[in-house]
Amino acid sequence: MKEENLDKIFEKTRPYFDLEEPRAGHKARFIEKLNTAEAEPKKGISWWKPLSMAASILLVIGLFLGPGLRNEMEKERIADISPEISNSQFYFANIIEQQVAQLEREKSPETSKIIEDALRQLTILETDYKKLEQDLLNGGDTNFILRAMIQNFQTRIDLMQDVLAQIETIKTLKNNRNENNIT
């Protein structure tokens, strides 16, 4: 039914749309252009699209790998400035990583606030450490910066040990309360 209505509408409005006819020989010119387009040899392969795709892929790879490569280059430069700090960094980072894992294992409703606060403090100390690395790379007072970097690691380790001691105290108090409630 709708098709019939559309057909009727088009029949009624056709005189308003079909006001002009194509120029004489339109069909012949169209066929001639079509034949010449088929007869012409195709142009060489356009390298624009493949090159732009390759460039896009390289750009994406660069965006993902760039920061990692930059960090590796910075670590190498720091190792060139002070091989001791590079070794210390590896040693302290492993200790801190182990303590963070231990903190995560100790997480409970009673200790979650302390652990979250400690992790926030660690993030702040890590940010400070990265600033110290940049200062070292920018040519600051090497001895002073190296001492500050080691102090930063020591502060992080002390923080973790304090938090773990507080968690042990909380666990002991909880066990004592449970024992008192049982007897």
In the chain, where are the structural domains located? Answer: 49-81, 83-173
Cβ–Cβ contacts within 10 Å for residue 79, how many?
14
Maximum CA extent, the chain:
112
Cα separations (Å) of 133 from 22, 119, 142, 154?
77, 21, 10, 16
Choose the weakest-confidence range: 11-15, 124-128, 166-170.
11-15
Cβ–Cβ contacts within 10 Å for residue 95, how many?
13
For residues 94 and 45, what is the distance between their CA atoms, to the nearest angstrom? 55
Q: Rg for the chain (alpha carbons), in Å?
A: 37
For residues 18 and 6, what is the distance between their CA atoms, to the nearest angstrom? 17
> What are the pLDDT digits (tens) for 100-128?
888 888 888 888 888 899 889 999 998 99
Collapsing DSSP states into helix, strand and coil, what is residue 143? helix
pLDDT at residue number 70: 56
For residues 145 and 136, what is the distance between their CA atoms, to the nearest angstrom? 6
Write out the two tokens for 95.
Answer: 């200790």
Chain-centroid distance of CA 110 in Å reads 33
> What are the pLDDT digits (tens) for 78-97?
666 666 666 677 777 888 88
> What are the pLDDT digits (tens) for 122-166?
999 989 988 888 887 777 777 888 888 889 989 988 998 998 899
Write out the two tokens for 53.
Answer: 């795709």
Closest of 87, 102, 86, 89 to residue 160, by C-alpha:
102
Closest of 112, 125, 111 to residue 159, by C-alpha:
125
What residues contact 133, with CB distance under 8 A and at least 6 apart? 74, 78, 149
pTM of the model: 0.52
